[in-house]
Chains A and B, each alone.
Chain A
Amino acid sequence: QKEVEQDPGPLSVPEGAIVSLNCTYSNSAFQYFMWYRQYSRKGPELLMYTYSSGNKEDGRFTAQVDKSSKYISLFIRDSQPSDSATYLCAMSKTGGFKTIFGAGTRLFVKA
């Protein structure tokens, strides 16, 4: 069993929709939870991170962590075609060292 599970999709939504992306994990020692966005032929870039449990909001993006359920989510409001990318969840016991990644969910936002 993988330490981090993420549905690879693809997920296709119309412009303006609310998108929900999720990951589950098995290691309760994870403390840092990240979401990376990766455009085609590019490296991943950090979108958001959360320490321990709770919510974090940044513009149209909201990250949620539920450590009791070992479940994290990323919500994208008012999705735009420019949000079309692969979204990778990632987790770490420390501040970023030995980060473990999910397989990534491919998102398409149609105009």
Chain B
Amino acid sequence: DAGITQSPRHKVTETGTPVTLRCHQTENHRYMYWYRQDPGHGLRLIHYSYGVKDTDKGEVSDGYSVSRSKTEDFLLTLESATSSQTSVYFCAISESTLTYSPLHFGNGTRLTVT
């Protein structure tokens, strides 16, 4: 594994509650990403970060916010969880965008919103 830890690994929460997922890396990579994975849709980019305090939206960012206060940590927050946000969430990291730099993934957080 590429030194990526996601926490928690599993979470069940109720509709309307806030939820924060954490991604921690030990690789000192500049770029970090949050994806969600759903049957029939594959992996879809939620938000990404290109440095401390530098973040931007992906294709499915509505209802999500992110923060990156340190190189190693990237947080994903669901401000008010909905059932449509039940999914498996993956954090990924990459080193550079100037040359080919593959994504390395954590093992995911399985979130259920009841």
> A98-B48, A103-B42 given as contacts; is B99 within 8 A of A43 (CB)?
no
Chain B residues near A104 (CB, 8 Å)? 42
Question: Taking each of B42, B90, B100, which has the highest tally of chain A beta carbons within 10 Å of its own beta carbon?
Answer: B42
Contact string against A for B residues 18-59, beta-carbon threshold 8 Å, 1 for contact and 0 otherwise: 000000000000010001000111111100100000000010
Chain B residues near A4 (CB, 8 Å)? 42
The size bracket of the interface on B is 20 to 34
A43 contacts B90, CB within 8 Å? yes
**Interface presence of B94 (CB below 8 A):** yes
Chain A residues near B48 (CB, 8 Å)? 97-98
> A6-B42, A97-B31, A103-B40 given as contacts; is B105 within 8 A of A43 (CB)?
yes
> Which 8 residue pairs spanning A and B have beta carbons closest together?
A43-B105, A101-B43, A103-B42, A97-B97, A95-B100, A101-B42, A46-B102, A96-B101
**Interchain residue pairs with CB less than 8 A apart (13):** A6-B42, A41-B107, A43-B107, A43-B108, A44-B105, A45-B105, A95-B97, A95-B99, A96-B97, A96-B101, A98-B58, A102-B42, A103-B40
Which B residues are within 8 Å of any A CB, using their own CB?
A: 4, 31, 35, 39-45, 48, 58, 90, 92, 94, 96-108
